[in-house]
Structure 1
């Protein structure tokens, strides 16, 4: 069964005289619970500044790396290999690919793109040229990336950098502000029309994957809320939406056989300790606090049973089997307030006659603030559960709701006591989470900005293990390094992993098949403006 746009839909997307006289027959519809910004198709711009199809439908990268399990899917690159010393990466580029204006794609476009990042450092948002990259050169259909030190995890950032045509971008002198409204890419779709209510891309007739995509167009519709977007899915007016709802099973999937969802666990929520200040600088104090918190209860009350308590290592379920030692794969934080109470006393934090916990100096500990985002009901609920738990061991807390700027500033500047946030790092294996969370280069002194090490915690064993991982391409060596880091983190507890975090893909499957699912996870369930979504737009088929 195909889907034909209604007259109302056509009015929404036909914002100007289209160059395409014939309207598409098979249209895949995406509903968006937010508005989008200006007419900008610059693939170098941050995701919140360019339009949704830019890096999901129009432009492509060398490879797609599935964020849950690390599976690599070739795109504009067909294969890659590291040299024996892991300082040279060679990528073979795909032949027979055309840009959407008919010009041939070559390895020179790849080299141009990466050298363009060096010429305009503001575009190098993953810091490739600060990560040891020294040159990018071509020979025939291969591209050679040379580094001054071994750093194998950088492959993810090389692989997923979108590639632009040299014959277009060489003439653009201010790529930071360029809006690129006549985008030329290699992707499965070309841009067609724009308004604040609807966006449309049309099938690229010269796309290099013969027979794909299976749809003639993808249309995005904007709504003003999650509820409005959800209603469009329930009414059959949309096929897909990246929408967070409180109960995807009971509030959506239970309403009919065509209402399905794919919510893979892609991260965790954490209670961060500010390890720059006492008593949170004391690992014994942190371990006792972790033992006093019922993370099962936190997950149940914050997410109505949809989320589970997180693994104490912070490693997501999809990566535990491959990367964690056997004793940590199914580990959980043992909630035991009696043991936590005793541990605090044994560590020098006694109680007075009134049951108030004292510091090592014998003075009552203050009421500690738990920093959360203002109005973030899930984090506020987590903080409420934690506050009640900590009362049982003689510790008083206050929930400190802050607007984003002061919330993020407090976490990054090291001026908080306790704070709840997601992990500010992640990737296709645990290295990326641990590197961004605990590497010294992502920390900073109090008052300065730590980019992602929110606990402001470092440990020599972790720093050494991160370096061992970077310097090797051997799976056994890398797994051993991850095991060292996981064991150190669970011993020192610079954070308390609280609950799982999800991606939020909802489908109405009445018209299309071929969606990514838990049974066929060819993407990580990421949002409609990501490279993962490109694979979905390629693979959905009309029923």
Structure 2
């Protein structure tokens, strides 16, 4: 894709404004440099925080710019950033955010609530920037008064807070002069974050500590450097040799293949979601919940996980709720509905539901005719999904159901799911967030479904249920945690009973550390972020908390 590499007049103005701050930072001569290893090169010199993540450089939204809050997608914990508090009105149609005092942009100008209001109204002016669809999902006005910003909505929609919270804030005095923010490269960024941009090349990037950052004691490090490699093996070698301190690197055996090699090698791979076996409920026999539950009961997910990930990822909980959210969100009623691997019980359940076996042991449909071999859709060459499908095929054969593995390139793989032409398929959850609402809403809300042949945005199973829809709708209207838990309990138990998908294995984030030089990394015991990649809002917290030994 062609990108504009020419500095605009606005960018030149920004360069002049940031010269003093950048010179001050450069004069530090950093004593401590935190090194991040990347498995790919990055693109053009673009630090536009509105550009998609694969188009702007890695430090943009992790080190240079900031949001109002950080919402941990594992556990829903909210960390104040440029905001210090928020509250919904009684009717849950107005959100009021208190902004932080004493913050300056890295060009020396004062940050204010007006910058926040400008940012959100800028999204309205340039809809291409509004990638979360805030103005399409009920936001009607954003206004600043003093250190307060009010967000008005035409209907209650409290889960939208996550997207408001995570929006990167930009300075009005810079961006009000940018008339084409989609193509703006912003090579001299003016942010409030803990670092300022220093050097750029195709092989390495460096940011330096912002000497005027609003957190006076942090960051503890003077610089961050990103270095590029061409493979996971090369990145792993850099970590093992102490040439990098952190990398978002997926390997087959993080415990035996990395952590066991020395005391300074550590990993943080929290469960961020699940891989699912999707049933196409728009076609028989997958439109029968009894058939779906019996199929699920016949699959040994522990073996699926072991064969696909060699113990790095475990079997998923059959509710689809990730471990970090289970204690808070799983209702007591879910316990009796959990799927347990039991081929004999699955065989009996299929027969009871009207799917008998013939003399050859082949499963029959309710019409008495043998069921055809069902295709399991997977991505072409995706060894983990192919392995899962192979293990499941053997399990299903034992209860008289024959399958074929259907490997497809991405376009036809995603098209098969979204168009509803598949039988069975393996994919991740097309949704997720700090509470189970986000996953279940995107997976089962009617608005994300479509008739077969039309594109379903994320309801890949094409499953809808009035009970689920009503509870999801009600969830959006309340900010009362107790009410939200009760409503989500209804959603979870209904989905467990109907089993429109079957959670197979956990999905993980892949943070690897070399702790020889630094402490303060997030861990399972101190999960202050979700272990996401180095160019995310989560990474900012790591860059603030790591400190030299």
Equivalent position to 1:363, from 355, 361, 369: 369
Match of 1:404 among 404, 410, 413: 410
Match of 2:143 among 137, 147, 151: 137
- Contact 2:333–2:493, Cα closer than 8 Å, also in 1: no
**Aligned counterpart, 2:110:** 104
Structure-to-structure mapping, 1:365-444, within 5 angstroms = 365-444=371-450
Corresponding residue to 1:284 among 277, 281, 290 = 290
Which residue among 262, 269, 275 is the counterpart of 1:263?
Answer: 269
Question: Which ranges of structure 1 fall in alignment gaps of 5 or more residues?
Answer: 1-16
CA contact (8 A) 1:468 1:477 kept: no
Partner of 2:183: 177
Q: Which residue of 2 aligns with 1:477?
A: 483
- Correspondences of 1:65-464 after superposition (within 5 Å): 65-328=71-334, 332-464=338-470
Pick the aligned partner of 2:36 from 24, 30, 54. Answer: 30
d(CA) in 1 for partners of 2:43, 2:326: 39
For residues 183 and 305 of structure 1, what CA distance do their matches in structure 2 show? 43
Is the CA contact (8 Å cut-off) linking 1:310 and 1:332 kept in structure 2? no
Task: Output the CA distance in 2 between the equivalents of 1:367 and 1:75.
Answer: 54
Q: TM-score, length-normalised on structure 1?
A: 0.95
Provide the secondary structure at the position in 1 that maps to 2:292: helix
C-alpha RMSD of the superposition? 1.5
SS of 1:261's equivalent in the other structure is strand
1:439-491 Cα offsets, whole Å, 9 max, x none, are 11111111222111111111101101111111111111100111101101110
Q: CA separation in 1, counterparts of 2:42 and 2:281?
A: 39
Kindly tell me: are residues 255 and 330 of structure 1, through their superposed partners in 2, closer, same or farther at Cα, counting changes over 3 Å?
farther
**Could you tell which deviates more after superposition, 330-339 or 116-125?**
330-339
Q: Take 1:133 and 1:301, find their aligned partners in 2: how far apart are those partners? A: 47
Structure 2 unaligned residues grouped into runs of 5+ = 1-22
Task: Give secondary structure in 1 for the equivalent of 2:417.
Answer: helix
Matched position secondary structure for 1:299: helix
Distance in 2 between residues matched to 1:46 and 1:345, nearest whole Å: 51
How far residue 192 of structure 1 moved from its aligned partner, in angstroms, is 1.2
Q: What number of residue pairs does the alignment pair up?
A: 527
SS in 1 for 2:135: helix
2:70 aligned partner: 64
Match of 1:506 in 2: 512
Match of 1:54 in 2: 60
CA distance in 1, matches of 2:393, 2:133: 39
SS at match of 1:319: helix
| Residue 15 (structure 2) aligns with | none
**Aligned partners of 2:468 and 2:494 also within 8 Å:** yes
Q: Per the alignment, in what secondary structure is the counterpart of residue 370 of structure 2?
A: coil
> How far apart, in 2, do the equivalents of 1:87 and 1:62 lie?
19
1:89 is paired with a residue whose SS is strand
Helix, strand or coil at the partner of 1:370: strand
CA deviation profile, 1:281-321 (whole Å, cap 9, x unmatched) = 11111111111111111111111122221111100011111
| Alpha-carbon distance between aligned partners in 1 of 2:298 and 2:499, rounded to the nearest angstrom | 13
Q: Which range moves more in the overlay, 229-238 or 211-220?
A: 211-220
Q: Once the 2 structures are TM-superposed, how far is the Cα of residue 327 of structure 1 from its aligned partner?
A: 4.2
TM-score, normalisation: structure 2: 0.94
Q: Give, in whole Å, the separation in 2 of the partners of 1:18 and 1:163.
A: 23
CA-to-aligned-CA distance 1:89-124 (integer Å, 9 cap, x gap): 000101111111111111111001111111111111
Moved more, 33-42 or 259-268: 33-42
Question: Which segment is superposed worse, 51-60 or 323-332?
Answer: 323-332
Distance, in Å, in 2 between the alignment partners of 1:46 and 1:457 is 31
Runs of 4+ in 1 over 6 A off after TM superposition: none
Q: Say which SS state the counterpart of residue 485 (structure 1) adopts.
A: helix
* C-alpha separation in 1, matches of 2:314 and 2:25: 50
1:331 Cα deviation from its structure 2 partner: 7.1
Shift in Å at residue 326 of structure 1?
A: 2.5
Q: Does the 8 Å contact 2:337/2:497 carry over to 1?
A: no
Q: Whole-Å Cα distance in 1 between the matches of residues 492 and 92 of structure 2?
A: 25
Q: Secondary structure at the match of 1:241?
A: strand
Q: Secondary structure at the match of 1:39?
A: coil
Q: Residues 227, 168 of structure 1: CA spacing in aligned structure 2 closer, same or farther, 3 A cutoff?
A: same
The farther-off stretch of 36-45 and 229-238 is 36-45
Counterpart contact for 2:25–2:196, Cα < 8 Å: no
Distance 2:130 2:335 in 1: 36
- Separation in structure 2 between the aligned mates of residue 405 and residue 390 of structure 1, nearest angstrom: 28
The CA distance in 1 between the partners of 2:475 and 2:342, in whole Å, is 35
What is residue 11 of structure 1 aligned with on the other side? none
Q: Distance in 1 between matches of 2:333 and 2:290?
A: 21
Is the 1:55–1:162 Cα contact (8 Å) retained in structure 2?
Answer: yes
Shift of 1:23: 3.5
CA–CA distance in 2 between the matches of 1:69 and 1:19? 35
Match of 1:518 among 524, 528, 538: 524
In structure 2, the CA distance between the partners of 1:331 and 1:519, relative to structure 1 (3 Å rule), is: farther
